[in-house]
Amino acid sequence: MRADTTERVTDKFLRGRGRQRLSEDELTLLDQTVDRVRDLPSRHTLVRAGDRVRTSTLLLDGFMCRYMDDHSGYRQLVAIHVPGDFVDLHAFPMERLDHDVATLSPARIASWTHDTLEEIVETRPHLTRMLWFSTLLDASVHREWIFRMGRLDAEGRIAHFMCELKVRLDMVGMVENDRFLLPLKQADVAEACGLTGVHVNRVLRSLRERELMIFRAGQVTIVNWKQLSALGQFNPAYLRGGL
Amino acid sequence: MRADTTERVTDKFLRGRGRQRLSEDELTLLDQTVDRVRDLPSRHTLVRAGDRVRTSTLLLDGFMCRYMDDHSGYRQLVAIHVPGDFVDLHAFPMERLDHDVATLSPARIASWTHDTLEEIVETRPHLTRMLWFSTLLDASVHREWIFRMGRLDAEGRIAHFMCELKVRLDMVGMVENDRFLLPLKQADVAEACGLTGVHVNRVLRSLRERELMIFRAGQVTIVNWKQLSALGQFNPAYLRGGL
DNA sequence: CGCCCGCTTGAACAGTGTCAAGTGCTGTGG
DNA sequence: CCACAGCACTTGACACTGTTCAAGCGGGCG
């Protein structure tokens, strides 16, 4: 499909989030030290909670998520990832993860061994700091999710979730005319927002009927950004890392 | 009360969470480069969202929190901090924060200038990695909070919250006989758990009557750890960073 | 063609929020 | 020493949001 086999794997990394602070040299280093690039099928688990992890993964194409299971086997998504995101860079300092990492759609990923990252930390303070920064952006998003779950009702949560995805996808050039592909089931949205699938269905209908947004057939159309972002109390500052 | 004016400021840092990986040398360096140690009154705001931050703070004594406000002025706590926690180390790579940082009780803090941290990053790769690690532990806690809000009911959330505090305070020697001081109002617990103060009150009563735990007069007594941790689906692994 | 999965809808119900009133400390001033 | 104010906590009645359970729909794919 894409004719970009020569595209650098770091092409989307930190786009719109301080990428300009990465030197050409640093990007090249990352590109040249990639261990592996590969494709994963949809709904494939890449890392399981508790596993010892020896590589870290950058998402090049597709959607991934991180989640935790409760006692009854229900999932709670704790993060969703779009192209350009390091999905488990935190595994480098942590060694083990407290959650699973999986694809939501077919995905293309690049990975670096932790030995390579070790060497970067030893020799490249500025690049190290940018990698650190990128894991902290994830933490900002986590905090916003806590806010979303703690203070917003079902409509607000879904509105906020969609607003976040719109801005994040926009940063990597994946939104056109307020429209973007989102290969998620309603049940996935429910798992991300702490709701049941049934209720997500009802809220989506309401948002559609009130002409705020449409989510259908794996595609989102933002119809009324102003009202939607107000409903979700959405302020995109947290996605940019305050730079 | 405490006769430890000669105590190192880093005394509690990362205790129970990989502290043994910090060398004596590294701890000494941190101790010697402290910029300021000072006391803050209760309910004092240290950093406001959006402020440019030039120092980072380690909590020595007392309780602090980080929170975000919603449109109607209601708060959502996104983190709570106990002695030994760096409360805003993430401000070093981020420069600005997306949330406020405040004390919940009188507190004693130590701070380092970002210039000092910059120098550490330039010259001390291993220490840098440990500082990075410590910010990732915060992120683990964030994820657990997302899970708490998304998948647990009111009882589960409060049980989980109290279990987390018990383990974290235990790591820094602040629990005796399943009992610890917690200078929070019921309204604070509500803000941490995404509930109303009224409902927190009811749940606390129920937990007390069922002899799972007692929270009264700023003190928590865990009566039945097994049942309480089961109710909160609590597994402390995320607090130790998988080491 | 028929099955399966994801989406849709309805009805009854449970959990949590809201509103309002009341209790019991603790600290303060007369 | 008592009266009172203020604050956190407590309780009850009621409304509402979201869940649960159950049934039906529709389109893609073997």
Q: Given an 8 Å threshold on Cβ–Cβ distance, is A68 in contact with B147?
A: yes
Chain B hits for A94, CB-CB cut-off 8 Å, are 133, 136, 140, 241-242
pLDDT per position as a tens digit, B61-71: 999 999 999 98
Chain B contact present for A121, CB below 8 A: yes
Q: To the nearest whole number, what is the mean pLDDT of chain A? A: 95
pLDDT per position as a tens digit, A156-174: 999 999 999 999 999 999 9
Chain B hits for A147, CB-CB cut-off 8 Å, are 68, 70, 76, 78
* CB atoms near residue A239 (< 10 Å): 18
A51 vs A62: CA distance, rounded Å:
23
User: Residue B175: what are its φ and ψ, rounded to 5°?
Assistant: -120, 135
pLDDT per position as a tens digit, B113-139: 999 999 999 999 999 999 999 999 999
Distance of CA B6 to the CA centre of its chain: 24
For residue A220, the one-letter residue type is V
For residue A128, the chain B residue with the least C-alpha distance is B121
For residue A78, the chain B residue with the least C-alpha distance is B143
In this complex, the residue with its CA at the shortest distance from the C1' of nucleotide D8 is B185
A184 vs A182: CA distance, rounded Å:
6
What's the Å distance between residue A164 CA and nucleotide C5 C1'? 28
Average pLDDT over residues B157-179: 97
CA atoms within 13 Å, Cβ hemisphere of B80? 24
For residue B96, the chain A residue with the least C-alpha distance is A242
Q: Given an 8 Å threshold on Cβ–Cβ distance, is B96 in contact with A50?
A: no
Q: Given an 8 Å threshold on Cβ–Cβ distance, is A143 in contact with B140?
A: no
What's the Å distance between residue A63 CA and nucleotide C6 C1'? 19
The pLDDT of residue B2 is 46
Chain B contact present for A176, CB below 8 A: no
The pLDDT of residue B73 is 85
pLDDT per position as a tens digit, A229-239: 999 999 999 99
pLDDT at B1 over 60: no
What residue has token string 């941490």? B192
In this complex, the residue with its CA at the shortest distance from the C1' of nucleotide C14 is B153
The beta strands (E) that lie in chain A are given as 36-40, 45-47, 55-61, 64-69, 75-81, 100-103, 107-113, 179-181, 213-216, 219-222
What's the Å distance between residue A186 CA and nucleotide C3 C1'? 22
State how far the alpha carbon of A105 is from the alpha carbons of A102, A186, B92, B169, in Å.
9, 14, 35, 41
CB pairs under 8 A between A and B: 144
Chain A contact present for B139, CB below 8 A: yes
CA distance B73 to chain A (A): 11
Helix (H) or strand (E) holding B110: strand B107-113
Q: What's A139's DSSP letter?
A: H
pLDDT per position as a tens digit, B63-114: 999 999 998 889 999 999 999 999 999 999 999 999 999 999 999 999 999 9
B52 vs A243: CA distance, rounded Å:
10
pLDDT at B4 over 80: no
A106 vs B34: CA distance, rounded Å:
49
B70 vs B198: CA distance, rounded Å:
19
Contacts of B78 (CB under 8 A, 6+ apart): A143, A146, A147, B66, B67, B68, B99, B142, B145
- Sorted by where each starts, the structural domains of chain A and their CATH numbers stand as 19-147 (2.60.120.10), 153-240 (1.10.10.10)
CB-count burial class (<10 Å; 0-12, 13-18, 19+) for A225: middle
pLDDT per position as a tens digit, A39-81: 999 999 999 999 999 999 999 999 999 999 998 888 999 999 9
User: Residue B106: what are its φ and ψ, rounded to 5°?
Assistant: -55, 145
